[in-house]
Chain A
Amino acid sequence: MILDSKIPGGSISEKWTKHKFELKLVNPANKRKFTVLVVGTGLAGASAAASLAELGYNVKSFCIQDSPRRAHSIAAQGGINAAKSYKNDGDSVYRLFYDTVKGGDFRAREANVHRLAENSNLIIDQCVAQGVPFGREYGGLLDNRSFGGTQVSRTFYARGQTGQQLLLGAYQALMRQVAAGKVTLLPRREMMDLVVVDGKARGIIVRNLVTGELESHVGDAVCLCTGGYGNVYYLSTNAQGSNVTAAFRAYKKGAAFANPCYTQIHPTCLPRHGDLQSKLTLMSESLRNDGRIWVPRKPGDKRSPDQIPENERYYYLEEKYPSFGNLVPRDVASRNAKQVCDAGMGVGNTGLAVYLDFADAIKRMGVAGVSAKYGNLFQMYEKIVDEDPYKVPMRIFPAIHYTMGGLWVDYDLMSTIPGCFVLGEANFSDHGANRLGASALMQGLSDGYFVIPFTIGGYFAGTKLEKVSESDPAFEDCKKQTAEKIQKLLSIKGHRTVNDIHRQLGNIMWEYVGMARNKAGLEKALQEIPALREEFYENVNVVGSEGSFNQNLERAGRLADFLEFAEVLTLDALHREESCGGHFREESQTEEGEAKRDDENFCYVGAWEFKGDNVKPELHKEPLTFDNVHLVTRSYK
């Protein structure tokens, strides 16, 4: 396997423009001869499907939900970055590029990130034109705020529902193409396998989740926009249905999986309440703009927060990082929360929480001011925790939120399987080892609206595609194997439920492959994961039949893939003996306990190639070069 990133030559600011010119074009009259299968309808999938259909391609759009408006992009709260510099505070495309490369801890490709920054402004234009109701100032112009570790105000927002509003914009564009007959909508379909013919991605096998029927769909290219794999930890802020299956099946067909160990733990989530919890809820980190994070200075201090005087409170982020304070990047904020809790200063029943206090903000802005900015988040907190955050400080704790790793793609977003493109969170490309706040929405939409429409044309124009039909042996074989896999799950009839085993997998991952990792722990996880996988295939009980709406079977299939994928993630974490971004290796830290990168040995993308079941995958390296943003140690002090 050769990892050819195909990064164009020229200066950083000219690469994308030059590349767009060099990409071959498909004649408008010929576009209708191509069919693109787009899997997933989040920001990346919906924007790609709509934009490709507008160009004249025939699109089939698949999602596991009942409607394309529900994908988990919808839950993003805080905002979307763009380099508009409306605040006159020194922002620029280059600064957004710079911040993102640095924020990603120098493990992203410079060229991709610069393109992302260039596209950021176009995205805002597009969304406003679609009717996305971004926050505005009284003069009627768009408002911005500072967000998640940046020193300029470049984040556009729609109250605490930015993801929902952006997704509705993309969904509306998609539905317009459905009405125009250019997109065929196939909801409640789950991709079970990628069909590769003559070395090219030519179709997918999906399961109709209502009838259980397996369907073959032929296309000239496949776009996987299937999100991240955070649910390998069982508890995460992801939706219940979020899964790695589509990406993992592509991996097993030859798509390299890059940097799976780069997982992001979000610092501002609601703490856990018990063992039978099904998910963790994120509170937008925009809350960190005005809330102050603290714990009692004295370990084990059980007094209620209002009884703890100011000088006995430890505002640890403000003290340790005076210039960024509570706005340090996510990985730094999360790790520090874990450290103070490990030191016994954590609050709440479990001791696994820190305070996020708005008392000062209320003094400064009044209850009305705080409510205008964060009202819906405060309401959400009160509904879940049953405490009034206007009166009692919120309790927060980190949770798995986003996964920077994903299928390896070249500059054109194509995986190592020709014709299989990967967009949004499902690919690995733009966030390096750590994603900055308000960058995920930007990347999903950049890939879908402003990258794939160009690069897919280049692929079609330069590739000879033979005629393929659903009755080809490749489709028949794939379908048969999928049916066998389903039968296997149904025939085990053991004693443990799917959730029970998934929960156990989550515990292993959180314990040994979570916020801080070390060699011994990772090796232990590599013992326990295969053992659990064996237990699953011997003792899981999947009830119901394959020929019906069977949510238990759906979950079992996804867990089967998580149980294999977890091992790849852990292997990646074990091999990367450095700390960078969301990946913290305890062996690699400074005397002050900060992450220590090892640029000499690990300045590369680690991409894993599937070599067979129960065979160790092979690691390939794509070296990273930094010609514009020079390698420095991140410091937020």
Chain B
Amino acid sequence: MSNGLMNLTLKIWRQKDAKTKGQFETVKATGISPDMSFLEMLDIVNEEQMKQGKEGFAFDHDCREGICGMCSLVINGMPHGPDHGITTCQLHMRKFKDGDTIVIEPWRAAAFPVIRDCAVDRSAFDRIIAAGGYVSVNTGAAPEASVIPVPKADADRAFDAAACVGCGACVAACKNASAMLFVSAKVSHLSFLPQGKVEAKKRVLAMVAQMDKEGFGNCTNLYECQAACPKGITVDYIAKMNREYLMATATYAEKVYGKD
């Protein structure tokens, strides 16, 4: 279009609920400005649908600034779409061309059942955290903050891992639907810090056990997770977690598998 606005064809995944079979529906998106975010484009499509009395297309989203981890669309086969280092809500329409066909799907993984259309249930991640993704410190029991110095390099590496927003793109990108990147990021975040080292062995065993229980697949080192991660979490953490897991199984006397 001459005024810079785009017309697009969307193939959107529609699914009533987890039990019903889903299918693609084709809809047109017209008059889309390149400055719009991808989700604003979907808002417009939904507004049009609703004006015709049809139900809008369901997708999770909240902060729309790339930090809450709620948005979760596979766009043209790529979790969070074709740009790198961003979540779906940070994707802008300038990444597409007038006339493009865009395929929009949910995260696909047995451990993430579809709720409706592209909204999925990621509570498996919460259960993995509940299995051990914390430091056991009650409110009020903390020592003065500067008592334990943390080498800056360790603090920075812990931070890099802690940047994970728990969106699940790593699972969606993996052909095995493995959650290793997510789990390794959380394990590493805490085990890099002296505060988290005390429970490190117990933690890695418990979290991995819960991950397996939730039905996530195995890691076969394809690194698709790293490519899809909006926060730049690298597979180095998976290597670190594997080492920690191995050491823990060999040396941790009281093995915990999913229970405290």
The residues of A with any CB-CB pair to B shorter than 8 Å are: 47, 50-51, 54, 65-72, 74-75, 84, 86, 121-122, 124-131, 133-142, 158-159, 161, 163-165, 168, 171-173, 175-176, 178-180, 185, 187, 210, 237, 239-241, 273-274, 276-279, 281-282, 379-380, 383-384, 386, 449-450, 453, 495, 497, 499-500, 541, 543-544, 548-552
Contacts and interface: CB of A to CB of B under 8 A. Distances in A.
Given A140-B152, A171-B129, A65 B68 contact: yes
Contacts of B25: none
9 shortest interchain CB distances as A-B pairs: A140-B149, A129-B142, A172-B134, A133-B159, A125-B142, A51-B139, A549-B116, A128-B145, A179-B130
A173 B135 CA distance: 8
17 contacts: A75-B63, A124-B145, A125-B143, A133-B193, A135-B155, A136-B149, A168-B162, A179-B130, A179-B260, A187-B126, A210-B115, A239-B68, A273-B36, A380-B66, A449-B139, A543-B55, A549-B119
A179 B131 contact: yes
B211 interface: no
B121 interface: yes
Contact of A139 (B119, B137, B149): B149
B60 interface: yes
Contacts of A279: 64-65
Nearest to A209: B115
A131 B195 contact: yes
Given A175-B130, A549-B115, A541 B145 contact: no
A158 B63 CA distance: 19
Contacts of A541: 50-51, 53
B67 A164 contact: yes
A241 B71 CA distance: 12
Nearest to B31: A276
Given A136-B152, A158-B159, A552-B50, A54 B123 contact: no
A72 B64 CA distance: 10
B130 A176 contact: yes
A274 B35 contact: yes
B92 A384 contact: yes
Instruction: Indicate the member of B40, B62, B94 with the most A CB atoms within 10 Å.
Output: B62
Size category of the binding interface on chain B: 35 or more
Given A133-B159, A383-B86, A384-B90, A70 B70 contact: yes
Nearest to B192: A133
Instruction: Indicate the member of A135, A140, A173 with the most B CB atoms within 10 Å.
Output: A140
A67 B159 contact: no
A69 B126 contact: yes
Interface of B: 16-17, 33, 35-37, 39-40, 43-44, 47, 50-51, 53-56, 58, 60-70, 83, 85-86, 90, 92, 94, 115-116, 119, 121-123, 125-126, 129-146, 148-152, 155-156, 158-159, 162-163, 165-166, 189-190, 193, 195-196, 260
Contacts of B140: 122, 126, 449-450
Given A126-B142, A129-B141, A131-B196, A383 B92 contact: yes
B64 A67 contact: no
Contacts of A187: 123, 126
Nearest to A541: B50
Given A129-B135, A130-B134, A548-B116, A72 B195 contact: no
A175 B51 contact: no
Contacts of A497: 47, 50-51
B65 A75 contact: yes
Given A133-B189, A164-B67, A239-B63, A450 B139 contact: yes
B121 A66 contact: yes
A151 B158 CA distance: 30
Contacts of B60: 66
Contact of B166 (A69, A179, A384): A69
